[in-house]
């Protein structure tokens, strides 16, 4: 066997072992990271219509959004998000990063760090950088091969204007 064939064979064995070692958390994290990139792309373009289609694809019909102790439906959350995004001149960051993940069968729970940032014109008619972020606990169910979010609950949140912390509405 030639050197190249040995390298290819070794690579195939390593890949096979890695696939066997990858557990349900890895599959879940990979799918969540792919979904997150799609949401990020839509938001950076301020394409709220595309964002809404992604919500329909990746959330359950009975999805619940919780913020400051109040629950909202998917439509209520989407309407609130739409108003926020329209207020931005430009969205410069929209990131989600999984901090923890637990998968048991067709159910999963994760803690996620979120950040949305952009520029807007304030009441003072000046351009400001606004950011909103924090951690959420998200619950998912697997429908077919797709993980869909059923609950998103904010646990911590922080709003900043030009780098300075602002009071969070409702907190």
Q: Tell me what the pLDDT averaged over the chain comes to.
A: 87
- Would strands 70-72 and 59-67 be described as parallel, antiparallel, or unpaired? antiparallel
- Structure confidence at residue 25 (pLDDT): 78
Question: Sorting pLDDT into bands at 50, 70 and 90, what band is 27?
Answer: confident
For every residue of 14-25, DSSP letters joined together read HHHHHHHH--HH
The fraction of the chain above a pLDDT of 70, given in percent, is 84
Given a cut of 70, is residue 6 above it in pLDDT?
Answer: no
At the top level of CATH, the class of 23-166 is alpha beta
Q: Any residues with CB less than 8 A from the CB of 164 and at least 6 apart, and which? A: none
Q: Which of 139, 51, 128 is nearest to 90 (CA)?
A: 128
Location of structure tokens 């619940």: 64
pTM (2 decimals)?
Answer: 0.81
Query: In the predicted model, what is the mean pLDDT of residues 19-36?
Result: 77
Give long-range contacts, CB 8 A cutoff, 24+ apart: 110-115: 110/28, 110/32, 110/137, 110/138, 110/140, 111/135, 111/136, 111/137, 111/138, 111/155, 112/136, 112/137, 112/138
Tokens of 121: 């014109």
């Amino acid at each position: 066997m030639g050197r190249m064939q040995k390298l290819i064979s070794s690579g195939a064995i390593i890949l096979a072992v890695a696939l066997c070692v990858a557990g349900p958390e890895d599959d879940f994290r990979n799918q969540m990271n792919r979904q997150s990139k799609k949401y990020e792309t839509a938001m950076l373009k301020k394409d709220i219509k595309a964002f809404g289609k992604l919500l329909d694809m990746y959330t359950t019909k009975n999805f619940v959004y919780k913020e400051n102790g109040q629950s909202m439906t998917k439509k209520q959350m989407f309407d609130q998000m739409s108003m926020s995004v329209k207020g931005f001149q430009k969205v410069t960051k929209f990131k989600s990063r999984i901090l923890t993940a637990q998968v048991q069968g067709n159910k999963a729970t994760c803690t996620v760090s979120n950040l949305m940032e952009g520029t807007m014109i304030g009441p003072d008619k000046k351009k400001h950088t606004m950011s909103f972020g924090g951690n959420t606990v998200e619950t998912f169910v697997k429908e077919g091969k797709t993980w869909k979010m059923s609950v998103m609950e904010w646990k911590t949140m922080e709003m900043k204007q030009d780098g300075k912390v602002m009071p969070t509405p409702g907190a």
